[in-house]
Amino acid sequence: MADKKISDLTELTTPAAEDLLAIVDNSGTPVTKNITYTNLVPTGTTANKIVQLDGDAKLPAVDGSQLTGISTGATTALDNLASVAINTSLISDTDDTDDLGSDAKKWKDGYFAGDLKVLGDIYTAAWTDYSATSTITGWSEFTTKQIYTKKIGKTVFVQFHLAGTSDSATTSFTIPYTSTQDIGGGTADVLDNNTWFDGSTVIILASSGTLVRITKGGSSAGWTDSGTKRVRGSIWLPIA
């Protein structure tokens, strides 16, 4: 049966409360038994009711625990998180891909009560060879010239290897960081005038200074100003 309609009602009886469906003439009484969707469809948020949008066209509060197929990803701004503290692990959906912050948008402080496991490097400024910019005293020519620095926070590590023809009784080089403390320590492997030195060597860096001096036998001017000179060592310093 298609395209049929009720155009006239006959055999009318008075509607009763137990009727499942009553078709009522609007001119008659009571009109509350007209066929309308509110009469036909039970709406609400309780059991066996159909959910109806509210006056702001929003879903009313319902139990959504059985919903499926809904994207659970958070936005970059995390503005779709509930306004409660995170009470579970913050875990990426993939491995070795997502970043926490960026060069332009850094987190401020970080607090960890446990361990911090880093499989990559940790640095503020990665290892860089400064030898092409450093003022170096003690050689007329080099066969090896390396002055590597690495900055982690307010600590700088320096590794150097300088070798070649000596032309000075002193040995020093500059670094691109200013020490906040007097430094006298470090370790160095020393060849002076083609002979390995067995005595003590000290690497000295003055507070507020950028000049690293390497002393031999307690004297900063104890080097031979000829022959092959080689110094190889490391030092670390605090910076502002």
Partner 1 sequence: MKYFKKYKGVMKDEETGERIKDSVEYIQRESDKALIPCVEGNADYQAYLEDKDKIVEDFDYEAEDLRQQTASAEKKIADDKEAEIQAELRKMAIERIEARK
Residues that bind partner 1 (CB under 8 A): 132-145, 163-165, 167-168, 170, 172, 174, 176, 193, 210, 225-227
Q: In the bound complex, what is the minimum distance in angstroms from residue 190's beta carbon to partner 1?
A: 17
Nearer to partner 1 by Cβ, of 152 and 211: the residue is: 211
CB of 195 to partner 1, least distance (A): 10
In the complex with partner 1, the residue whose CB is nearer, 139 or 160, is 139
Q: Which among 180, 183, 171 has a CA at the least distance from the CA of 147? A: 171
Query: Can you tell me whether residue 109 is helix, strand or coil?
Result: coil
Q: How far is the CB of 139 from partner 1 (least distance, A)?
A: 7
Nearest distance, CB of residue 184 and partner 1, angstroms: 21
- At 52, list the tokens: 């109806």
Judging by beta carbons within 10 Å of its beta carbon (0-12, 13-18, 19+), is residue 177 exposed, middle or buried?
buried
Q: Which two tokens stand for residue 205?
A: 């860096």
Q: Could you give the CA distance from residue 20 to residue 59 in angstroms, rounded to a whole number?
A: 29
159 vs 174, beta carbon nearer partner 1: 174
| CB of 136 or CB of 190, closer to partner 1 | 136
Neighbouring CB atoms inside 10 A of 238's CB total: 14
- Taking the complex as a whole, the smallest distance from the CB of residue 235 to partner 1 amounts, in Å, to 19
Which among 140, 129, 149 is positioned nearest to 227, based on CA atoms?
Answer: 140
Nearer to partner 1, 224 or 234 (CB): 224
